[in-house]
């Protein structure tokens, strides 16, 4: 079984971190448990040069690190994460063009088995537009013609529509797409055999649309920075080579399924306006003719709404032979929640370093490692978090209009002390080299520092949504972030203050921590999970634990 993440971006794409070179990508893939990584951006001249310099042929159609780089790599990753890592030449192309009196904006993923084939695609596209300005080239080219260029580049080259539901840039997107994948690719539509579901939808949502039955569903991270690698992925049971993977996508045999975000964590799940702090389910959006109640401009229609428009089956329908999927939350976000610090903070990275050194890649930690084992390093909060994740017991705060959602494992009040993650007997010996981590001076050796407390770390993940101006029309219809949702008891007393002792964790159990009014319950429901008409309801913007101004203050 192998996990593949076939949509990532290089340092030459907009908003990408500078350390996205091939060795860093390979190291990130090993830590996540990804065996095959898309190179991304192969049409960018400078990135193509870097790929040709860093990679050499491996199994048919795949590439591996140059031997000297591979030796360096193995010195830098924990022994528990060692496995072959391969690269597949890939690029995302953004096409913007007019068809049928409408402007179409569609993103596509293109794959090639050799540098020669990739160069042919690059050569054809260079005649259409500038490929050097961005790793994701933006071209005035019809989707059908891009597919033709791909197919003509050589045997094996194939195209997969990217994140098909994204409002602004996708084949089925509400703003600039089509109502069927086949409409987009015209006479060549039969050459499309797989579609990428994107972060804001999972296979269950896609199964509601019979028009997608003919396509395999794949998932990729669309990562712009190394920690994001593998946050979504596709799992194969086929041989590790380009043509076997392509055949699995074409026929379904050898495609085991996908690893998914919770779709609510994606950036376009419900409808809304980020700058107005308005977030709506599909029904209230329809009631308002798609117009924002705050600024009276068109709302950004989310994936949930768009799926409902095109669905011809009830939620829960599963087509025969459909591959499985598994909703996960990135390990960094879980530890971030436990420590109450940002997911990119040093504390979180240090904990991940120790866990992967002891137990292997992150995907194995999230899915397979027995929770009793995890307790050895993670303590009871991590054990509980992973147990809940595997049961699907999560709290969802849906992302909208370009803003990521948030998935939590704990109710507010359950986690009342950061830093307790390591305050468990016996964890010290595990961290100091009794396991694989002790065999080398890799990240595991460095990870002990900073593992105690998250105090003073950044709060990069914290998101607050501003309330409408007092007295404005929308203020009357919209609950403030902290207002109780329907059916919730009002908050009668302030939540407990966080104790200052860095190792305080009072007999933590799942239900012993104080539950507290609206903050103890998810403000967002699993809104993709039931079919049929809904009552009109505004989704309150979320109160986020650790989000600065509202931190630990009773909202009422
Ligand atoms: Zn894209
Ligand atoms: Zn608005």
Give alpha helix (H) positions in 407-510.
Answer: 427-429, 443-446, 473-477
**For strand 158-161 and strand 102-112, is the pairing parallel, antiparallel, or unpaired?**
antiparallel
From the CA of 300, the nearest ligand is: 2
How many residues comprise the chain? 556
| Residue 493, φ and ψ in degrees, nearest 5 | -150, 155
Average pLDDT over residues 98-103: 91
Nearest to 479 by CA among 555, 553, 403: 555
Predicted confidence (pLDDT) per residue in 10-51, tens digit? 888 876 666 678 999 999 999 999 999 999 999 999 999 999
Distance, in Å, from the CA atom of 481 to the CA atom of 412, rounded to the nearest integer, reads 14
Distance, in Å, from the CA atom of 268 to the CA atom of 302, rounded to the nearest integer, reads 5
Query: Model confidence at 176, in pLDDT bands (50, 70, 90)?
Result: confident
Average pLDDT over residues 347-352: 93
Interval between CA 279 and ligand 1 midpoint (Å): 23
Average pLDDT over residues 170-198: 94
Q: Which of 233-242, 250-259, 491-500 has the least mean pLDDT?
A: 491-500
From the CA of 474, the nearest ligand is: 2
Interval between CA 107 and ligand 1 midpoint (Å): 5
Average pLDDT over residues 168-196: 94
From the CA of 161, the nearest ligand is: 1
Interval between CA 520 and ligand 1 midpoint (Å): 35
Nearest to 417 by CA among 345, 352, 493, 513: 513
Distance of CA 410 to the CA centre of its chain: 20
Q: Facing residues of 369 across strands?
A: none
- Residue 145 region by backbone torsions, left for phi larger than 0, else alpha for psi between -120 and 50, else beta: alpha
* DSSP-assigned letter for residue 187: G
Interval between CA 164 and ligand 1 midpoint (Å): 9
Compute how many other C-beta atoms are within 10 angstroms of the C-beta atom of residue 453. Answer: 19
- Domains contained in the chain, CATH given: 2-265 (3.20.20.140), 271-320 (no CATH), 330-455+463-476+502-550 (no CATH)
- Is 192:147 a contact under the CB 8 Å cutoff? yes
* pTM above threshold 0.85: no
3-state secondary structure of 520: helix
Predicted confidence (pLDDT) per residue in 284-310, tens digit? 999 999 999 999 999 999 999 999 999
Residues 6 or more apart from 548 whose CB is under 8 A from it? Answer: 459, 462, 464
Distance, in Å, from the CA atom of 129 to the CA atom of 126, rounded to the nearest integer, reads 5
3-state secondary structure of 458: coil
From the CA of 134, the nearest ligand is: 1
Q: Would you state the structure tokens that stand for residue 250, as one six-digit string?
A: 């074409």
Nearest to 337 by CA among 280, 257, 254, 421: 421
91, containing H or E segment:
strand 86-99
3-state secondary structure of 261: coil
From the CA of 478, the nearest ligand is: 2
Predicted confidence (pLDDT) per residue in 369-428, tens digit? 999 899 888 788 899 999 999 999 999 999 999 899 999 999 888 876 544 544 433 333
Distance, in Å, from the CA atom of 321 to the CA atom of 16, rounded to the nearest integer, reads 37
Interval between CA 476 and ligand 2 midpoint (Å): 15
- Is 314:533 a contact under the CB 8 Å cutoff? no
pLDDT of residue 417: 54
Interval between CA 268 and ligand 1 midpoint (Å): 13
Interval between CA 253 and ligand 1 midpoint (Å): 27
């Amino acid at each position: 079984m192998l996990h593949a993440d076939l949509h990532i971006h290089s340092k030459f794409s907009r908003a990408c971190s500078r350390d996205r070179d091939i060795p860093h990508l390979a190291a990130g893939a090993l830590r996540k448990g990804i065996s095959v990584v898309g190179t991304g951006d192969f049409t960018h001249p400078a990135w193509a040069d870097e790929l040709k310099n860093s990679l050499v042929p491996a199994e048919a159609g795949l590439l591996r690190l140059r031997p000297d780089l591979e030796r360096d790599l193995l010195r830098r990753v924990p022994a528990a994460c060692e496995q072959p890592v391969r690269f597949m030449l890939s690029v995302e192309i953004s096409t913007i063009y007019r068809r049928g009196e409408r402007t179409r904006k569609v993103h596509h993923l293109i794959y090639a088995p050799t540098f020669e084939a990739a160069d042919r695609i690059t050569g054809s596209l260079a005649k259409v537009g500038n490929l050097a300005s961005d790793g994701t080239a933006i071209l005035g080219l019809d989707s059908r013609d891009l597919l033709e260029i791909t197919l003509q580049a050589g045997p094996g080259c194939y195209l997969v529509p990217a994140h098909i539901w994204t409002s602004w840039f996708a084949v089925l997107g509400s703003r600039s797409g089509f109502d069927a994948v086949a409409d987009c690719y015209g006479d060549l539509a039969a050459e499309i055999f797989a579609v990428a579901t994107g972060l804001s939808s999972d296979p269950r949502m896609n199964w509601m649309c019979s028009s997608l039955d003919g396509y395999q569903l794949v998932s990729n991270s669309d990562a712009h920075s190394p920690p994001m690698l593998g946050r979504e992925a596709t799992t194969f049971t086929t041989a590790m080579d380009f043509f076997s993977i392509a055949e699995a996508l074409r026929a379904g045999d050898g495609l085991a399924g996908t690893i998914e975000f919770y779709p609510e964590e994606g950036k376009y799940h419900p409808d809304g306006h980020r700058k107005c702090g308005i977030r709506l389910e599909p029904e209230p959006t329809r009631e308002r003719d798609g117009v924002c109640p705050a600024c009276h401009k068109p709302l950004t229609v989310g994936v949930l709404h768009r799926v409902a428009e095109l669905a011809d089956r009830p939620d829960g329908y599963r087509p025969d032979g459909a591959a499985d999927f598994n909703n996960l939350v990135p390990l960094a976000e879980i530890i971030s929640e436990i420590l109450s610090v940002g997911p990119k903070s040093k504390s979180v990275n240090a904990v991940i370093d120790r866990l992967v050194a002891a137990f292997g890649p992150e995907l194995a930690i999230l899915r397979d490692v027995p929770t009793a084992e995890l307790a050895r390093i993670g303590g009871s909060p991590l054990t509980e978090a992973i147990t809940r994740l595997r049961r699907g017991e999560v709290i969802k705060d849906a992302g909208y209009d370009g803003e990521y959602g948030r998935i939590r494992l704990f109710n507010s009040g359950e986690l009342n002390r950061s830093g307790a993650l390591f305050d468990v007997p016996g964890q010290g010996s595990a961290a100091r080299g009794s396991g694989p981590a002790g065999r080398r001076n890799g990240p595991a050796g460095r990870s002990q520092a900073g593992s105690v407390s998250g105090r003073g770390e950044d709060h990069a993940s914290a998101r607050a949504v501003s309330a409408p101006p007092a007295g404005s029309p929308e203020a009357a219809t919209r609950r403030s972030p902290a207002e109780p949702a329907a059916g919730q008891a009002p908050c009668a007393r302030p939540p407990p203050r966080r104790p200052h002792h860095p190792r305080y964790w009072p007999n933590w159990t799942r239900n012993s921590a104080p539950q507290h009014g609206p903050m103890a319950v998810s403000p967002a429901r699993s809104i993709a999970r039931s079919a049929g008409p809904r009552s009109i309801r505004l989704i309150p913007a979320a109160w986020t634990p650790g989000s600065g101004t509202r931190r630990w203050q009773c909202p009422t």
